C-alpha cells in the first residue's frame, strides 16, 4: 500500500476487521485518491441481510472509535458511512450487482484486504 498515512491505514484496518468479524463477504478497497476529491478510499462490501449490515455498521463505529460524519441508508439495501477520507459502501447482494461500483471506478487501484491484517 503506497503512501497511505498511518491514521488512514489504521482506520482502514479497523473497518476491515469489523466487517470480517461480522462475516461480511466480498470486502474490497479501492484507492480513489487520483480519481476524485470525494474521498481517498472506498470500502465496498456485501451483507446478506439488513440485520447483518446494521450490525456491521455498529461494529465499524466501535472499531474505529468514531461515528461517521454521515450515515445514509441505515434501513435500506445500500448503507453509506462517510468518514471523509474513507467511504464505506455496504450493500445487499442484488444492490451491489446493480450499481457495480467496482466497474464504475475501474481505474482505481484495488488494495489487498489481507495486507491490512
What is the predicted pLDDT for the residue at 9?
A: 85
What is the predicted pLDDT for the residue at 25?
A: 77
Q: Where are the domains of the chain?
A: 6-116
Tens digit of pLDDT at every position of the chain (117 positions):
567 777 888 999 999 999 999 999 789 999 999 999 999 999 999 999 999 999 999 999 999 999 999 999 987 899 999 999 999 999 999 999 999 998 989 999 999 888 776
Q: What CATH class has 6-116?
A: alpha beta
Sign (positive or negative) of CA dihedral 58, 63, 65, 71:
negative
pTM comes to: 0.91
What is the predicted pLDDT for the residue at 117?
A: 63
Amino acid at each position: 500500500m503506497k503512501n497511505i498515512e498511518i491514521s488512514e491505514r489504521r482506520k482502514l484496518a479497523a473497518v476491515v476487521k469489523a466487517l470480517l468479524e461480522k462475516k461480511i463477504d466480498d470486502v474490497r478497497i479501492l484507492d480513489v485518491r487520483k480519481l476524485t476529491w470525494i474521498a481517498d478510499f472506498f470500502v465496498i462490501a456485501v451483507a446478506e441481510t439488513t440485520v447483518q449490515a446494521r450490525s456491521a455498521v455498529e461494529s465499524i463505529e466501535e472499531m474505529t472509535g468514531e461515528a461517521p460524519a454521515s450515515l445514509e441508508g441505515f434501513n435500506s439495501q445500500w448503507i453509506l458511512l462517510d468518514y471523509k477520507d474513507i467511504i464505506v459502501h455496504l450493500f445487499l447482494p442484488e444492490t451491489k450487482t446493480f450499481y457495480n461500483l467496482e466497474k464504475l471506478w475501474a481505474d482505481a487501484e484495488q488494495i489487498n484486504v489481507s495486507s491490512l491484517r
